[in-house]
Chains A and B, each alone.
Chain A
Amino acid sequence: MLEVNLAKRAPAVFLAEQAGRGPIDIVLQPTMGRLSFRAKEAALEGRSEVSGLAVDGAINTRRENGDLAAMRLGPDEWMFLCDDGEVDNLAERIAEEMSGKAFSLVDVSHRDVTFEVSGAASDAVIASGSPLDLSLEAFPVGMATRTIFAKSDIVLARLSQTTWQVTCWRSFATYVQGYLADAAKDFAVA
């Protein structure tokens, strides 16, 4: 199947030499299962979770449950994350649980790639292309939001004070990684 092949294909990104040298790590994350889930309040019928994925969190927050994570990107939109091999099972379980309700579930695993940016000055590296206030008060640990990074649309999530996940469409990956690596150069050890 085309989709399966695409999902298994290595992302078309280069490994910037500078990325690994300084105190900032920019690491391409392994392929993961990604499901875009849309449902209105009425269809959720007060559920706090769907197949183990939290749907009651505030907009722009990320909630984990074991190997699963749910990012609420809008009032009726979530990105569900799971292990690469689990995505078909998870999609079936969600479809079963939501059967008869108005909802949308799309496997977008092959669409996105994620970079983890970590290190003491990681917030400065993100800030080089972001219009957001990245202070802990404005962007606390556990926040996740779609936003703009330089000229690319990304989903930005903060996993710890100094650990970020930057997710972009596959075709933007080279650009985003290059931009991050370039910003990280400022913090590289000469």
Chain B
Amino acid sequence: MLLLECPYCGKRAESEFHCGGEAHIARPETPAELDDQAWAEYLYYRTNPKGLHAERWQHRHGCGRWFNALRDTVSDKVVETYKMGEPRPDASNANIPDPAKVRSA
């Protein structure tokens, strides 16, 4: 069972949660002034990193709150979760497994 740390409820099973895609994407203040390319980038273009990824998650079958999670897309390890509105934490000290080792394991 995969456990996620809800900032309000603590560690709970992943089946109680729902993922809402990449975090920290601000809606443009004046959409009418954007050209098609800029609007398309806001709507569809994502960083899709190999490594740490900031994502929105909702504790849907729990407290119902949205929060953000820093997840390693290689190992699926959730390094940190934090409340909406808080800045992306500096996880440079996080113990991230070496992708090469994960792949060969």
Q: Which A residues are within 8 Å of any B CB, using their own CB?
A: 59-60, 73-75, 77, 131-132, 145-148, 153
Contact (Cβ within 8 A) A60 B63: yes
Residues on the B chain within 8 Å of A73, using CB: 63-64
Contact (Cβ within 8 A) A74 B61: no
Known contacts A74-B64, A75-B65; A59 and B8 CB within 8 A of each other: yes
Question: How near does chain A come to B6, taking the closest CB pair, in angstroms?
Answer: 9
Contact (Cβ within 8 A) B65 A148: no
Residues on the B chain within 8 Å of A74, using CB: 8, 62-65
Majority DSSP secondary structure for residues of A touching B = strand
Known contacts A60-B9, A145-B9; A131 and B65 CB within 8 A of each other: no
In angstroms, Cα B9 to Cα A73, docked, is 10
In angstroms, Cα B7 to Cα A75, docked, is 10
Majority DSSP secondary structure for residues of B touching A = loop
Contact (Cβ within 8 A) A148 B16: yes
- Within 8 Å by CB of A77, from B9, B12, B16, B64, lies B64
Residues on the B chain within 8 Å of A147, using CB: 12, 16, 61-62
Measured CB to CB, the nearest residue on chain B to A133 is B11
Known contacts A75-B63, A132-B13, A145-B9; can you find 10 more A-B pairs with CB under 8 A? A59-B63, A74-B64, A131-B12, A131-B13, A131-B15, A146-B64, A147-B12, A147-B16, A147-B61, A148-B61
Known contacts A131-B13, A147-B16, A148-B16; A153 and B61 CB within 8 A of each other: yes
Question: How near does chain B come to A12, taking the closest CB pair, in angstroms?
Answer: 23
Residues on the A chain within 8 Å of B13, using CB: 131-132, 148
Contact (Cβ within 8 A) A146 B15: no
Measured CB to CB, the nearest residue on chain B to A130 is B13
B25 on the A face (CB < 8 A)? no
- Within 8 Å by CB of B9, from A59, A131, A148, A153, lies A59
In angstroms, Cα B62 to Cα A74, docked, is 8
Contact (Cβ within 8 A) A77 B63: yes
Of residues 3 to 32 in B, which have CB atoms within 8 Å of A's CB atoms? 8-9, 12-13, 15-16
A-B contact pairs, 20 of them (CB 8 A): A59-B8, A59-B9, A60-B9, A74-B8, A75-B63, A131-B1, A131-B12, A131-B13, A131-B15, A132-B12, A145-B9, A145-B62, A145-B63, A146-B61, A146-B62, A146-B63, A146-B64, A147-B62, A148-B15, A148-B16
